[in-house]
Chain A
Amino acid sequence: MTLASYNGPPDAPVNAPVDAIVRLTDLTLGYRRHPAVHHLSGGFREGSLTAVVGPNGAGKSTLLKAVVGALKPFDGKVTLHGLTARDIGYLPQQAEVERDFPIDVLDTVLLGHWRRVGIFRAIGRTLTRQAEEALAAVGLAGFERRPIGALSAGQFQRVLFARLLVQDARLILLDEPFTAIDARTTADLLDVVRRWHGERRTVVAVLHDMEQVRAHFPDTLLLAREPVAWGRTDEALNPANLARARMMAEAWDDKAEVCRRSSS
């Protein structure tokens, strides 16, 4: 039995809390008819801090894209409760930003004010001070007029976190925020994540480092195309679940049959 034609019911626990700010209903996502996320149901509680982990190709980034609305589901749906797509702060993987663009650090952070200033409104002293404070919070005070092309990868990631701080989003989605980032920067930025958690913001982060997840993230979604486990981190990341996730990884079968679990 190949994984792609696996038709049995998912035996991962379905996590659907009543106070979910984002609810996923039988969500199937993917590219070119091949599912990257398969029949995922559940929700992210308001104020929760969730790590999304799983093998490469498990559909973690795909899931975030669907939540911000950049990807249309094959099946099922994403429901936002009490917030719109513009209340979401989304940090995609680094490769999607034009790093040699001639813009300086402060201007990049000021973009976080977009919802308040839009296309035309002026950015006043208050908003600029907020951006400067955000830069100080990520340890980049004094870098305001540096071109972003002159920053290291770690410094640039700090800039993007500062922009998220300014954005003042209720739901924050981070896609591999600490990949290829030095340990000190990671520690500083994890402090920022904890601060968000303390402010009752909902944070979902795609991560690889299990130690990091165990240390800082109360909830975990273990994804291997199929949801493997979703719940408290120490339960979700038990050895049995991890072994199962490894086994299910990276199944892209060109001749896979059409899934019969689909609702239509």
Chain B
Amino acid sequence: MTLFDLTAGPFLEFAFMRRALAACLALSLGCGPVGVLLVLRRMSLMGDAMSHAVLPGAAIGFLAAGLSLWAMGIGGFLAGLAVALLAGLVSRVTALREDASFAAFYLISLAGGVLIVSLRGSNVDLMHVLFGTILAVDDAGLLLVAGIATVTLLTLALLYRPMVLECFDSGFLRAVGGAGGRLGAACHLVFLVLVVLNLVGGFQALGTLMAVGLMMLPAASARFWAEGVVALALIAMGLAFASGIGGLLLSFHFNLPSGPAIVLAAGGGYLLSLTLGPVGSLRTRWFPGRHREA
């Protein structure tokens, strides 16, 4: 058994492994940069909240149209977006901070989702459906994640400047951005849409919990490898894809469920980055190296 057989063999032999790999690539391309922006905005936990908020929409979609990718996707998208918008609105018009109103709305949404699932008389194992598996990604699912990755990358490329400035110095964007100072708010809105879109794409393939893992872990890891937004985004994509490959191989060779295996691979990448990365990691803290002349 050569190294080639262990690593490339499964993908060469099985079409479902190649499909899963393609889905991982598409997810990585979208989730990587979105995760980086979430980290930079100090909204790392928001992804988690948002993924729960998706549940009732997906549940309603499922109950209305069965196991339809589009019904569940659109339902989840609308629910997630509604929670994000309501939370943003409440934090703007009342004294409650955005994280608190987010927590409130996503909990309402989650409870609503669980209620909808359990009220359905025939106790269909909806969770089994919601926690999709990347091994079962079909053509439609692949198209969906690829489409979401495309939309994400195009949007980020178009709105790169204001998006970054919104994170870095939102006051400055308000002052110079024009559009009556609303450009920042518009960017924020577009960004929220991207977050929800990527979570919806992720939960079709990985389940809600796992999609957030592929979004946040590589983004957090990237911080230990680079400075600069573009570099962070590229590294996050790379790490996410590497986690995908690693997780699929783990799932293949050790009979582990694919979703958790992928996220654990990303978690391993995070721990490695945390200890060994060149920027602000434990290594640089403990062994800073000889100081320079200037």
Contact present between A and B (CB < 8 A): yes
Q: Which of A's residues lie within 8 Å of B, judged by CB? A: 68-70, 85-86, 88, 90, 92, 96-98, 101-104, 108, 111, 114-115, 118-120, 147, 149, 167
CB pair B174 A86 closer than 8 Å: no
- Please give 9 more A-B residue pairs, beta carbons under 8 A apart, in addition to A69-B181, A97-B169, A119-B162: A68-B175, A90-B175, A97-B171, A101-B168, A102-B229, A103-B164, A103-B168, A104-B228, A111-B172
Q: Can you name the residue of chain A whose Cβ is closest to the Cβ of B168? A: A101
A108 to B173, CA, bound (A): 12
Q: Report A141 CB to chain B, min CB distance, Å.
A: 14
Taking each of A68, A104, A119, A167, which has the highest tally of chain B beta carbons within 10 Å of its own beta carbon? A119
CB pair B177 A70 closer than 8 Å: no
CB pair A85 B167 closer than 8 Å: no
A111 to B162, CA, bound (A): 10
Chain A residues with CB below 8 A from B229, complex form: 102-103
Q: Can you name the residue of chain B whose Cβ is closest to the Cβ of A103? A: B168
DSSP class of B's interface residues: helix, strand, loop or mixed?
helix
Q: Are A114 and B169 also in contact (CB < 8 A) when A102-B232, A119-B159, A119-B162 are?
A: no
A114 to B162, CA, bound (A): 10
Taking each of B158, B169, B178, B231, which has the highest tally of chain A beta carbons within 10 Å of its own beta carbon? B169
CB pair B171 A96 closer than 8 Å: yes
Q: Report A96 CB to chain B, min CB distance, Å.
A: 5
Q: Which of B's residues lie within 8 Å of A, judged by CB? A: 40, 158-159, 161-162, 164-165, 167-169, 171-172, 174-178, 181, 223, 226-229, 231-232
Q: Can you name the residue of chain A whose Cβ is closest to the Cβ of B228? A: A102
Q: Can you name the residue of chain B whose Cβ is closest to the Cβ of A123? A: B161
Chain B residues with CB below 8 A from A167, complex form: 176
DSSP class of A's interface residues: helix, strand, loop or mixed?
mixed
**Could you list some 18 contacts between A and B, CB below 8 A?**
A70-B181, A86-B178, A88-B175, A90-B171, A90-B175, A98-B168, A98-B169, A104-B227, A108-B168, A111-B169, A111-B172, A114-B176, A114-B177, A119-B158, A119-B161, A119-B162, A120-B158, A147-B228
Contact with B174, one of A70, A97, A101 (Cβ below 8 angstroms): A70
CB pair B167 A101 closer than 8 Å: yes
A228 to B165, CA, bound (A): 38
Contact with A98, one of B159, B167, B175, B226 (Cβ below 8 angstroms): B167
Chain B residues with CB below 8 A from A111, complex form: 165, 169, 172, 176
Q: Report B33 CB to chain A, min CB distance, Å.
A: 13
Chain B residues with CB below 8 A from A98, complex form: 40, 167-169
A147 to B176, CA, bound (A): 23
Chain B residues with CB below 8 A from A103, complex form: 164, 168, 228-229
Q: Are A115 and B167 also in contact (CB < 8 A) when A69-B181, A147-B227 are?
A: no
Q: Are A101 and B40 also in contact (CB < 8 A) when A70-B181, A86-B178, A147-B227 are?
A: yes
Q: Report B65 CB to chain A, min CB distance, Å.
A: 38
Q: Can you name the residue of chain B whose Cβ is closest to the Cβ of A97? A: B169
Q: Report B32 CB to chain A, min CB distance, Å.
A: 15
Contact with B176, one of A92, A96, A97, A115 (Cβ below 8 angstroms): A115
Taking each of B164, B175, B178, B228, which has the highest tally of chain A beta carbons within 10 Å of its own beta carbon? B175
Taking each of B158, B159, B172, which has the highest tally of chain A beta carbons within 10 Å of its own beta carbon? B172
Chain B residues with CB below 8 A from A147, complex form: 227-228
Chain A residues with CB below 8 A from B178, complex form: 86, 115, 118
Q: Can you name the residue of chain A whose Cβ is closest to the Cβ of B95? A: A32
A69 to B178, CA, bound (A): 12
A90 to B167, CA, bound (A): 18
Chain A residues with CB below 8 A from B171, complex form: 70, 90, 92, 96-97
Chain A residues with CB below 8 A from B161, complex form: 119
Q: Can you name the residue of chain A whose Cβ is closest to the Cβ of B178? A: A86
A149 to B223, CA, bound (A): 13
A58 to B178, CA, bound (A): 30
